[in-house]
Chain A
Amino acid sequence: MMTSLRDHRYLIARRLVQTAVMVLLIGGNLWGWTVLRGNLSSSIVLGAVPLADPFAVLQLLAAGGLLATDVLIGAAITLVFYALIGGRVFCAWVCPMNAVTDLANRLGRRLGAETGSRQVFGRTARYFILAMALVLSAILGVAAFEAISPIGMLQRGLVFGMGAGWLAVTAVFLFDLLIQRNGFCGHVCPLGAFYALVGRTALLRVDHDHEKCTECMDCLTVCPENQILELVGQASGSVLDGVCTNCGRCIEVCPDAALSFSHRKHAMSLESGGS
């Protein structure tokens, strides 16, 4: 029991954080709680500190809106936190879609390697979708991704009522389960792509100790972005790619304690010129 808890310590912590954020937002709407009001697009903490989704704000700016200062300050706070400290933690620790796609991937692994093995989108598709979101926002005068975002439908639906939003969430689930493993979060989602770009400079990193590694490759099996773990079995150092969501699954499954959370360090035995 205790080892099971220990083997899932970050997973449990992430689910607790995700649930807590959504419960606070739901309480803000249904019961008038003031800890966190609004939703993940824009909110107010304790009636004083604004927070906002910087990617949504960027789309609105592209759409041509001269926005009020509240939402700009909110977006700046979020942006600075992720850029300096957290990296892409939104995806693994806050976004409720993460629980949906994690479930799809877990089920998919049980069903075998065949299911969900198609490569519809490449890993870089999300950056093109991100660019397209901004171009369409500018052309149409509407935040283009916000208008169709399954994440938006899910998180707004949880707080304000789901409506037909279940369809979009189910579509994402089935896409990840039956068509492409980690398809949505790891290949399509422009919000994840945005945070991957923002998170390149962040302090919090997964650290690999080559001395301890026995090359069992459990971490690569479980990592939703396993193309970035190329230093496993090669060299000690930090996982510096911004695409890492700091979910901590690799750390939990490692039987050799070769992986851990740490601040950023440069790869020591890999020849890397700068960051």
Chain B
Amino acid sequence: MAAGKGMDRRDFLSRLTAGAAAAAVGGVVWGGFVTEGRSASLVLRPPGALPERDFLGKCIRCGICVEACPYDTLSLAGPGTDAPTGTPHLIPRDVPCYLCADIPCTAECPTGALEISLVSNDGGRTLDVNKTRIGLAVMDYENCIAAWGLRCDACYRACPLIDKAITIEHTRNERTGRHAVLLPKVHADVCTGCGLCERACVVEKAAIFVLPLDVALGRVGNNYVKGWEEGDESRIDGTTGPADEMDSDPLDYLNSGDLDDD
């Protein structure tokens, strides 16, 4: 009886260990798979999408935004593609976002992964599709034929915010010495990332293309402030740095030592 009980305990412990090991291995593989899918950073989300991490924490992968889109712009990522499986995305070179005034994709999202207040004024009362930030159109001037000096303004003409999101800059054509170069220029504060420019670009692989904002943009940090722009200084409110950790006021520190009056 005692031996039998001992066997039971041994059996129980070995089962417990095996179970824990299986759970650990399974959890690591499972978690690794999910993390890998999440790290795809070049995915473009529908209008009104929360920042990528928050978006993935809310999207239930139901496809209602895909069905709501009248232009078939959106699709759900299939397994084995770059985007996490079943999440909505767009590929502007195939079908760009036409910026519907009623923004049906965002309006119909049941979970809030697409957040209506991000694309409206007064906290959601009046829709403003121009607040859409799918990404930012980025220029490759090496392969832009307008930058070569040829006559092309396809992206500029295609832009729904023409003369605001894309402007034409006139510069001198140094090669010929007597012509102008009409250079398209993207303005990040206005660009919605709709991708109509990318769709319109005439070269084989678009020389203007939409990238997610966190990929396309740098970050200045807290060391520089636009003193000439009202409100920019509020950006560094509440930040801390070495000066906050000093015992004395920075001015006292500068005025101490050699230059002290006797």
**Known A38-B64, A74-B110, A139-B31; contact A67-B58, beta-carbon cutoff 8 A:** yes
B57 interface hit (Cβ, 8 Å): yes
Indicate if B79 sits at the interface (CB-CB under 8 A): yes
Complex partner residue of B58 from A43, A60, A129, A159, CB under 8 angstroms: A60
Interface size class of B (residues with CB under 8 A): 35 or more
In the bound complex, CA of A142 to CA of B58 (Å): 8
| Total chain A interface residues with beta-carbon distance under 8 A | 51
Pair A38/B63 contact, Cβ less than 8 Å: yes
Chain A residues positioned under 8 Å from B30 (CB to CB): 132, 136, 144, 148
Tally inter-chain residue pairs, CB-CB below 8 A.
140
Stretch in A82-90, A149-157, A176-184, A249-257 touching the partner: A149-157
B19 — which chain A residues lie within 8 A by C-beta? 128
- CB-based contact B79/A41 at 8 Å: no
The closest CB in chain A to the CB of B74 belongs to A160
Instruction: Give the interface segment out of A101-109, A163-171, A259-267.
Output: A163-171
A-facing mask of B82-97, CB < 8 A → 1, else 0? Answer: 0011100000000000
Stretch in B33-41, B153-161, B246-254 touching the partner? B33-41
Judge whether A187 is part of the interface by a CB distance below 8 angstroms: no
> CB within 8 A of A53: which of B53, B60, B86, B113?
B60
CB of A39 closer than 8 Å to a CB of B: yes
What is the CB-to-nearest-CB distance from B112 to chain A, in angstroms, rounded to a whole number? 4
Q: Which residues of A are found within 8 Å of B81, using beta-carbon distances?
A: 163-164
Residues of B within 8 A of A39 (CB): 61-63
Cβ–Cβ < 8 Å partners of A60 in chain B: 57-58, 60, 111
| CB-contacts of A19-75 with B (<8 A) | 28-29, 37-39, 41-44, 50, 52-53, 56-57, 60, 63-68, 70-71, 74
Q: Does B6 contact A (CB under 8 A)?
A: no
B204 on interface, CB distance cutoff 8 Å: no
With a CB–CB cut-off of 8 A, which chain A residues contact B37?
Answer: 147
- Whether B112 contacts A153 by the Cβ 8 Å rule is no
A66-B112, A68-B109 are contacts. A143–B38 as well, Cβ < 8 Å?
no
The prevalent SS among residues of A at the interface is helix
Q: Quick check: A65 and B78 within 8 Å, CB to CB?
A: no
Partner of A132, one of B27, B64, B85: B27
Interface contact A161-B78, CB-CB below 8 Å: yes
In whole angstroms, how far apart are the Cα atoms of A92 and B53 in the complex?
35
Question: Which A residues are in CB contact (< 8 Å) with B53?
Answer: 141
Query: Cβ of A5 < 8 Å from any Cβ of B?
Result: no
User: In the bound complex, do residue A41 and residue B56 qualify as a contact, i.e. CB atoms below 8 Å apart?
Assistant: no
A146 interfacial contact with B, CB 8 Å: yes
Whole-angstrom CA separation of A140 from B84 in the bound complex = 13
Asked if A42 and B64 sit within 8 Å, CB to CB, the answer is yes
- Cα A161 to Cα B72 with chains together (Å): 13
CB-contacts of B26-75 with A (<8 A) = 26-27, 30-31, 33-35, 37-38, 53-54, 56-58, 60-64, 66-67, 75
A64 to B62 Cα, complex, angstroms = 19
B78 and A162 form a contact (CB under 8 A): yes
Residue of A57, A140, A147, A157 most packed against chain B (CB within 10 A): A147
Cβ distance A67 to chain B, nearest Cβ, rounded Å? 5
Docked-complex contact A38 and B67, CB < 8 angstroms: yes
Min CB–CB distance A87 → chain B (angstroms)? 24
Residues of B within 8 A of A29 (CB): 63, 66-67
User: 13 additional contacts, CB 8 Å, given A28-B67, A42-B64, A167-B79?
Assistant: A38-B64, A42-B62, A52-B60, A52-B62, A63-B57, A66-B112, A68-B109, A74-B110, A136-B27, A147-B38, A153-B86, A160-B76, A161-B75
5 nearest CB pairs, A to B: A163-B78, A164-B80, A42-B62, A68-B112, A70-B110
